[in-house]
Structure 1
Amino acid sequence: MDSSMIIKDLIQLDMQVENQNDFFAKMSEILFAKGFVKETYYQALVTREEAYPTGLPTQPYPIAIPHADAVHIITPFVAAVRLAKPIAWCEMATSDVWHDVQLIFVLGFIKGDGHVEMLQLLVDNLQDQDLMDRLLNAKTVDEYYQEIINIKGFD
């Protein structure tokens, strides 16, 4: 799997948000300003998350992998975000199971970008407690980025 979709410039460390909608608004604004998504992205992200939650109960730390349909994406990306404090996120395939999530990987794929493989690679590796601890404790964007691109399975 090609690590070039992990965009260093999109990494956000210790982002301050109050809830999921606040997170979606801030990330949508960043992604739009940098030319990765269309103006329709924010609403598409909110609508998709309401219908198909993206929280994953990975251990030792739950994560979220929000994404919108490809029609709202201009340039493919993976944006890695560490929140300053966890927020509630609904678990995938449920409507009533919530987890406190601090690490979020916003996925922006265009059809055929290998999104299923990327999802599987992230899910498999983000259950490694040592890796998760390093991500939670990284001091700089460079350090965080290096941890992600060194994930087993990336080229």
Structure 2
Amino acid sequence: MDASLICDELCELDLDVQSTDEFFEKMSVKAQTLGYVTANFLQAIKEREFNYPTALPVEPYPVAIPHSDPVNIIKQFIAPVRLKHEIDWCEMANNDNILKVRVVFLLGFKREEGHVELLQLLIENFQDKEIMDQLLAAETKEKFLDIVKHLKGF
């Protein structure tokens, strides 16, 4: 997979948010300001998340992979984010189950093709306890990004 999709300027380390809405609001402003998404991105991603939640119940730690429809993406990106604290996030395909999420990979793709393979690759990495422990322990944004850019398959 192409590591150039990993966006340094959209990466956040210890983003302080209390909810998914606050996460989407902060990340949407940043992504729109930097020219990655349209003005409609925030509303679109909130609606999509409400209808199709994106938290994965992977072990050792749940991870969220929110994404919007391609029409709202200007430049493709993968924005890896570590939250300061766990927040409640609805489980994918099971809106009634709430997971505690601290790692989020916000995805922005202009086309549908290839993203299934990327998701499979990310899930494989998210199930590796050593990798997840490293992501949670990274002391700097640079170290965090280095771990992300060296995930298996990138």
Q: TM-score, normalised by structure 1?
A: 0.97
Structure 1 gap segments, 5+ residues each: none
- Shift in Å at residue 113 of structure 1? 5.4
The whole-number CA distance in structure 2 between the counterparts of 1:106 and 1:70 is 13
The whole-number CA distance in structure 1 between the counterparts of 2:19 and 2:151 is 28
- Shift in Å at residue 95 of structure 1? 1.5
2:150 maps to what in 1? Answer: 150
Letter of the 2:19 counterpart: N
The whole-number CA distance in structure 2 between the counterparts of 1:153 and 1:37 is 26
Q: Percent identity?
A: 47
- SS at 2:119's partner residue? helix
Q: TM-score, normalised by structure 2?
A: 0.98
Aligned residues: 154
Q: Deviations over 1:69-104 (max 9, x none)?
A: 000000000000000000000000011011000000
The whole-number CA distance in structure 2 between the counterparts of 1:95 and 1:84 is 24
1:54 maps to what in 2? Answer: 54
1:80 maps to what in 2? Answer: 80
1:139 maps to what in 2? Answer: 139
The whole-number CA distance in structure 1 between the counterparts of 2:112 and 2:71 is 13
Runs of 4+ displaced beyond 2 Å: none
Letter of the 2:59 counterpart: Q
Q: For 1:63-142, list aligned pairs within 5 A.
A: 63-112=63-112, 114-142=114-142
Letter of the 1:48 counterpart: R
In structure 2, relative to structure 1, the CA distance for the partners of 1:109 and 1:93 (3 Å cut) is same
1:9 maps to what in 2? Answer: 9
Structure 2 gap segments, 5+ residues each: none
Q: Deviations over 1:37-96 (max 9, x none)?
A: 000000000000011000000100000000110000000000000000000000000110
- SS at 1:82's partner residue? strand
Letter of the 1:96 counterpart: D
CA contact (8 A) 2:70 2:112 kept: no
